[in-house]
Amino acid sequence: MDLTETPDLAYDVFSKACPSRGTLEHVTGRWGALTLGALAALPEAEGSLRFNELRRRVDGVSEKMLSQTLHALERDGLVHRDAQPTNPPRVDYELTPLGREVAGRLLALIHLVEGRMDEVLEARERYDTARGGR
């Protein structure tokens, strides 16, 4: 990949007024990234998850934060919310086609970070040692 590639786009996350910065934050925020990642890691045949299933997969998220995260992703058109009028109501979440594309790039980043953590932890040790240990 050519890292110097700078496409001529109408939207620019580096500009603080651009709406793309907000969407990038929904996608890469602590819970947004893990929520999209959890939905993207599902086998194709079972592409949706109920709220509580999602909450178990995104270890550590509160009910309130997961709810806010899902609303922001739904509003941006990345997640589809399907509510069945049963009693109790059954609500499923799944990625939209755009959400799958975004989550695919995100998973590629997540897998790279997970795969290189040995290097990251060695770097941290060198950094802390050079500064007298912490």
Q: Mind giving me the DSSP string for 59-111?
A: TT--HHHHHHHHHHHHHTTSEEEEEE--SS-EEEEEE-HHHHHHHHHHHHHHH
- Site residues for a second copy per CB under 8 A: 1, 3-7, 9-16, 19-20, 23-25, 27-30, 33-34, 37-38, 40-44, 57-60, 74-78, 98, 100-117, 119-124, 126-128
Residue 86 Cβ vs a second copy, minimum distance, rounded to whole Å = 21
| Tokens representing residue 102 in the block | 């975004």
CB closer to a second copy out of 25 and 82 = 25
CB closer to a second copy out of 67 and 87 = 67
| Residue that the structure tokens 């594309």 belong to | 101
